[in-house]
Amino acid sequence: MTTGQPPSAHGDGTPSVTPSAPGPATPDASTVGGQYSGQQCPHPQYAPQTPPEYWPRPGGPLPLRTWQRSTRTLVIVVSSIAAVLLAVIAVAAVTSGSVLSSQFTAKGEIIVDCATASAPTAGGIIRLGDAVRVYGETGDELGRTETRALVRGDHGCALPFAIDGVSAGGDTYLVRVGDVFQQTVGRAALTSGAVLRPVR
């Protein structure tokens, strides 16, 4: 044994090696950045967890306010009355529309002499103020009026007439002026304005 060397721990003269202090551990690739990727966390108690959610149980209905208790009956009554009125108005509108669509205004003019405001016919003379009647295909009178004015238009002088509320059920109508003249006219002509030319 050489002087100055520490005695060997082994009997064969092999020098002993003093263990060094452990150094810092090298981080594993799976834990780089503080995250565990693809591997289970070694300490589950430290793993991130979703905070618990607390849902309170539903309570009883809130008591009505004073104004709600006092006006509840009034609101129900007013709402019921309004609903009934709206229903009545709707029915009236539908009925009125049906009636109006089944009626029209028969209008036209009777050509007369400008100087005398009259027109001679085979049955007599048409004059200002004569009655004008409209009859349906069954012979029922559907409306009547009188000639009240002498006007000048594209066809010369004429006595205009207009009868409201004539039933639109037929295709042709009979227009009679006084008791001296009559002419069959289609509904389209009466709607747009028929021109009657009495013939002597």
State residue 113's pLDDT score: 93
- Among 86, 101, 116, identify where a domain stops: 101
What number is the average pLDDT over the span 59-85? 75
Name residue 112's amino acid. V
Of the candidates 173, 181, 105, the one whose C-alpha atom is nearest the C-alpha of residue 138 is 173
- Whether 74 is covered by a domain: the verdict is yes
- Whether 142 is covered by a domain: the verdict is yes
Res 52 pLDDT > 90: no
Instruction: Answer for the pair 200, 120: CB distance below 8 angstroms, yes or no.
Output: yes
Q: Considering all CA atoms of the chain, what is the largest pairwise distance in Å, rounded to the nearest integer? A: 173
* One domain, residues 145 and 158: yes
Number of domains into which the chain is organized: 2
- Whether 11 is covered by a domain: the verdict is no
Instruction: Kindly report, residue by residue over 14-41, the tens digit of the pLDDT.
Output: 555 555 555 555 545 444 444 444 455 5
Alpha carbon 145 to chain centroid distance? 42
Instruction: Answer for the pair 184, 170: CB distance below 8 angstroms, yes or no.
Output: no
Task: At 79, give phi and psi (nearest 5°).
Answer: -65, -40
What number is the average pLDDT over the span 92-98? 62
What letters, b where the CB count within 10 A reaches 16 and e where it falls short, cover 99-136?
Answer: eeeeebebbbbbbbeeeebbbbbeeebbbeebebbbbb
- Whether 124 is covered by a domain: the verdict is yes
State residue 49's pLDDT score: 67
State residue 162's pLDDT score: 96
- Whether 145 is covered by a domain: the verdict is yes
Kindly report which listed range (55-59, 66-70, 90-94, 188-192) carries the lowest average pLDDT score: 66-70
The residue with greater pLDDT, 90 or 200, is 90
Residues spanned by the domain of 134: 104-196
Instruction: Kindly report, residue by residue over 114-157, the tens digit of the pLDDT.
Output: 999 999 998 899 999 999 999 998 899 999 999 999 999 887 89
Other beta carbons within 10 angstroms of residue 179's beta carbon come to: 11
